[in-house]
Amino acid sequence: MRSKAARSPSHTTSPSKMSLKFDTPIRRDSRKRHNAGVRRLRLGLANEAVYDVVIVGSGPAGLTSAIYTSRANFKTLVIGGALWGGQLVLTSEVENFSGFPEGVLGPDLMDDMRRQAERFGAELIFEDATSVNLSSRPFKVSVRNQTYQAKAIIVATGASPRWLGLESEARLIGKGVASCATCDAAFFQGKKVVVVGGGDTALDEALTLAKFASEVKVVHRRSQLRATRIIQERAFKNEKISFILDTEVKDILGQERVERVRLKNVRTSEESELQTDGVFIAIGQEPNTKLFEGKIELDEKGYVLVRDGSKTSVEGVFAAGDVQDLRYRQAITAAGEGCKAALDAGRYLEEHP
Ligand code: NDP
**Ligand 1: which residue has its CA nearest to atom 4?**
199
| Ligand 1 pocket check for 208: Cβ under 6 Å | no
| Ligand 1 pocket check for 114: Cβ under 6 Å | no
- Residue 9 clears pLDDT 70, i.e. is over it: no
Nearest to 245 by CA among 197, 188, 315: 197
H or E stretch including 32?
A: helix 25-43
| Ligand 1 pocket check for 2: Cβ under 6 Å | yes
pLDDT computed for residue 212 by the predictor: 97
H or E stretch including 93?
A: strand 93-94
Beta bridge partners of 54: 77, 153
Cis peptide before 25 (omega within 30 of 0): no
Going from the N-terminus, what domains does the chain have, and what CATH number goes with each?
15-160+285-351 (3.50.50.60), 163-281 (3.50.50.60)
| Ligand 1 pocket check for 234: Cβ under 6 Å | no
**Ligand 1: which residue has its CA nearest to atom 15?**
283
Give counts: helices (H), strands (E), the chain.
Answer: 9, 19
Q: Lowest-confidence range among 173-177, 191-195, 301-305, 317-321?
A: 173-177
Testing ligand 1's pocket by substitution, the residue of 87, 200, 264 carrying the most ligand atoms inside 8 A of its CB is 200
What number is the average pLDDT over the span 331-353?
97
Dist. CA 72 → ligand 1 center (Å) = 37
Question: pLDDT of 222-281, one tens digit each?
Answer: 999 999 999 999 999 999 999 999 999 999 999 999 999 999 999 999 999 999 999 999
| Ligand 1 pocket check for 1: Cβ under 6 Å | yes
Q: Are 103 and 94 in contact (CB under 8 A)?
A: yes
Question: pLDDT of 164-205, one tens digit each?
Answer: 999 999 999 889 999 888 778 989 999 999 999 999 989 999
What does the alpha-carbon distance between residue 338 and residue 92 come to, in Å, rounded to a whole number?
A: 22
Dist. CA 227 → ligand 1 center (Å) = 7
